[in-house]
Amino acid sequence: MERMVDHVELETIRPGMAVVSNGHEIGRVEDLILQPDRLHVLRLITRRTSTGQRIAIPIDWVRGIQDGRVMLLVRERELDLLPKYTPAVSVPTLRTSIPRTLDSQSATERIAAASGDPLHLLGLPARRRSESAGD
């Protein structure tokens, strides 16, 4: 069996590079999942040309980079075993959606939600809760 690479540095792989298994292009690099050091690649996000499915290929399955192509150690049947890749919510998406959500709630509702106010959990509006407290 061929020896796999110990690590792949971020600078060696670019989006759009062909990913090759057993002499056949199986897709192109769309994105990368990095190791915690942010210098080395952990997985290659690739859309398979045969199925259109996005997969996250472990870097351990990479034989090397040759002529601007990512060469894999595994065959397509091993790639078939990988689950469909579903990306986590991106940071830019979170940065825009969280403030919008917070802006849509009144300060009273946010405080009640944070404090675990059971009346808030029932969906009672803030005014109604004030009236209920006087009863």
- Which residue is associated with the tokens 């690479």? 5
pLDDT at 1: 42
The pLDDT tens digits for 36-56 are: 888 888 899 999 999 999 999
Q: Which CATH class is domain 10-79?
A: mainly beta
pLDDT at 27: 96
pLDDT at 3: 47
pLDDT at 130: 47
pLDDT at 11: 73
Structural domain boundaries in the chain: 10-79, 91-134
Q: Which residues of the chain have pLDDT under 70?
A: 1-7, 9-10, 90-91, 94-95, 97-135
pLDDT at 113: 60
